[in-house]
Structure 1
């Protein structure tokens, strides 16, 4: 979900709580780092979740393919921080890319396939505990939720605060309230899939950076997209654009490159674009195929051709012998 945390950063403040989760009564929820447990969702290398379990977790180093065989039927909301995550269930396949989310109404038997994913954030709720409108979802219900949905943004920020220990949950009663809040936020997302933000008016700087990013999205496939062309279109100086992106913790060129690579990954793996890799690279704005290949591998940990050969259907992928091996990826959290 949103930039939750990293095990290395969490290990120090959790030094006394990194053992497997206890099942006895606890007076509140505490973040814990768990490593090497076969029961971790997506058979991850490491996970951060709460004790007692509130249903949220960040799983690091997930397997390439995973089938949910939990004894209890669950509703899952899953989000890859970077990369592509696909779910297949009941003959239907749905996928999302970096920071979008997938909602799976009944996860038992669902098969997930991860491409260049280093971290998956998730919310899991037992179906027996669901209230309307979540309880009314058919078991085969799947939905992709865009990263800009206000409800998803609120849910991920709240879950991040809980996992980092920034939202104190000091009693069992508060833990129950937090669990209820998470479910209610998810219910809002289901009830209003097209919800638009109507909160405080963004500041002038926020409006400006949003306009700049929208301009980039519109011109992404053009090889002549540059700092100067965007500056001219937006009637702003190149120096101001650089300062705005620096305030966001990134650079203009870095943002353009990341968006082009994400778009290329989506087209290469969705199966809807049969054109050669080179044609897709040029279509998303790359003028140098070798540069595209090099930067694609640096971001996702595999070549464009390897991405193109990834199984289109997770149920055809099966659960290979080496499914616990994650894909290396040069990714930043969030």
Structure 2
């Protein structure tokens, strides 16, 4: 589900591990009964845009994915992209429920899934209860013909948009706004890096570039326009505060511009004055 993995057990071994498995070409489910001791699973990813759903029922679940960490209470659920390394920690061990949603299976529900990735869901969430209860039902069904199994898989996937809609209605603006503020904070930290791009944010935040663009679109701008504006503001601030001590070209490169001519054009377009004229006016005033 998450690619090659290693499991570290704090006390004992994995000799007594048991579980249940249900497999279909578009959905796989598993319940694993692990020892009741601290466990750490390091998975290296599968290199495909598949999704894995995880739930620990006997204790908390801690997930480290990319540069993010999540801690869930027992029976809470999280959906992870399976294309990169993840570390899964069960401080108390016990039962771990997993669902593998291959890329081919989630094509129609992809937009809904992208909206709920890397977000812990409380066990009290009603659509989530429907989803997990249905997964439990599938695990207990040993004998289905191909048509019946495909129908059941389709029903499982039909619940994902319901879950996504529940999230959207429960917090229509808080989550996107907090995510946008986090991205803006990352931009501020990397303004000096001329190679910084939306791909860097995508990897760090665990969401697609398209989702990032949607966040900025709702705020009335674009990712690149916002970064440009912040760099122009920072450059102007330094030109005004520097009292001609630092060459303008040095200031330009220090705020992430790689092309001096481009900076001069965009600065004049934004402020109606050339950077050199602004500095001249400032020094004359002083």
Alignment TM class, shorter chain as reference: 0.3 to 0.5
Q: 1 or 2 for the larger relative contact order (CA 8 Å, sep ≥6)?
A: 1
TM-score scaled by length of structure 1: 0.41
Higher percent of residues as helix? 2
Larger Rg: 2
